Structure 1
Amino acid sequence: MTDTRDLPPYIDRLGHGEICFPQPLALKGATAYAFGLDADPTALQALVDSQLNAACAPSLRYEPVGDTVLLTFLEVEAATSLSQTIGVQGDREAMIWVPLWEYREGATFPRLTFFVPYLLINVDTGLVVGREIWGYRKTIGEIDLMTDPGPGGFEARTTIFPTFSDSARAVENAPLIRATGHNASSALRDDFDDVAGFLEAIRGNMRHSRGLIETVVEGMAFAWDIGKLALDFVVPVVNLKQFRAAEDWTRACYQAVTESPAHLDKVHGGGLIAGEWTCSFRDCASHRIIDDLGLTGKRNGEWLSTEARFAFWVSFDFTTRNGITLWQR
């Protein structure tokens, strides 16, 4: 863990066009819509190996918890810095969540954490804050929610490259992710109203089948981590935070695995989303979501559609706290 007393002071640029507002951040009136998807653990491991373990193993190593990932769409009414008086701003985000086991040298049991390999956000401040402070892999995008006027459903759009070549032109505001409901209703069921109910709703969808020893050992660790989550209300997310070296694009001038703790301050309500939901992903060179997650389903041109295992919504307030540097080169 980094001793901040050894770090140089940050040269504050507030009032000079700064858009990286300091943590911690309080986010009020957040509503998330989540879809559980079947993923391939082998593909997930390959993704984690290339994007996390390639930097920090063997001192720190990650493995997927099982064969379920989450696609979420999020709307935040008001986000504000708790460190400086600046103002409030809302945003929308679409992201993929991969539950991971974290193995540390010398640790008896693995620890439950999460990895977000894809995250689209519609405001530049949120993009810069997430990237610069915690290392989130954020990109600018436009997001439609089922609560918007129109046909309903969810869609996330961003700039993509269908293929990579010297003459390939970027496609701006291109649809990348969709969630479509069948026999769906715009009315949301209210099935829980606290953090314990929320955790119970997701816990059963994160287990997996392995050998007896692994299941017992990891089951103990999982129960411990869920218990801590229920008591502390903190969701840990790990990222590879890095910046290219100015001298050589193949080198990093800074590289670290950081943890971004999100504290659930209050759950206002939540429940299942009615209907049968299909999540669709565009197959393109710049966003290899289908291959990275090992998704299967029906192909229609450059799109793949897969049935959601479950769908729920939750309304809450949360605080993004100071991060933790878990490993640094």
Structure 2
Amino acid sequence: MDTFVLVVTVAVALFFTYTNGFHDSANAIATSVSTRALTPKAALAMAAVMNLLGAFLGQQVAGTVSKGLIATPHGRAGMGILFAALAGAIVWNLITWYFGLPSSSSHALFGGLVGAALAGGTAVHWNGVVDKVIVPMFLSPVVGIVVGYLVMLGILWFFRRSNPHKAKRGFRIAQTVSAAAMALGHGLQDAQKTMGVVVLALVIHDPSRGFGIPVWVKLVCAAMMSLGTYAGGWRIMRTLGRRIIDLDPPQGFAAETTSAAILYTTSYVFAAPVSTTHVITSAIMGVGATRRVKAVRWGVAKNIVGGWFITMPAAGCVAAVCYYLVRLAFG
């Protein structure tokens, strides 16, 4: 029975990865599609492949998720906590996807873990939550806006004497590289988060195995995220690609390059599981502000930022309810 519960929990974790893929596919390719640098099908195929490759480039973020946020629960009750955390994250992902709101799948997962842990009486590592989740949640969008603004200013200055039409054609080609780098960073960050959850499930099932990540875990998590990415998130893609600001190729290149750089830095230097959604959205805002501040549709941006702040508590509440339902159903 315990093995069956483990299999079900891992399956739910993989389904979360799938929803993460189609929910966040827009992060990597919305700007490239909106500027017509890539066709939607080509962009999705490229993003799926790069997500798959990115998942194998590190495991620092997975370690933070598996042992840095909540104490390791034990037994069937512990597996129920993990199941409820994943259910809360999935429900919130589906709600925000339906309404086309680019909220963070990462913070839905973190909120679900904290909410389910509190409901199940498991200790939360608040220092880890604050240092690795809350602080980056506030800091990464600020960095995204500032760096995106500065990168775009540098591009405008460097190409100030270039033929605008030739420059745009060149940046349309360059966006193929920047979008690939962004997709690689998304795989590096988000696939690892589910790897950490699957490893936590394995440790709950067998505490003696340790927190190492088996190759099969990397492979299935990466494959499910790639499948989800290829399924696409068209509602959110429209929000990122057009509703915040109408992007041109140089702006799309600047936003993607900024986002990729932030994702690699937070993964390798700080082992911090940041939100790819927060990073790319804020970079788009910073890049757009170089045109003129009013060019950014700040009303849309305000709604998006509001979604960021409610994601963790909302997913946590859903996860807590799921935990109580699991306890009610199975004792």
Structure richer in strand, relative to its length: 1
Q: TM-score, normalised by structure 1?
A: 0.22
Q: TM-score, normalised by structure 2?
A: 0.22
Q: Which has the higher contact order (CA 8 A, sep 6+)?
A: 2
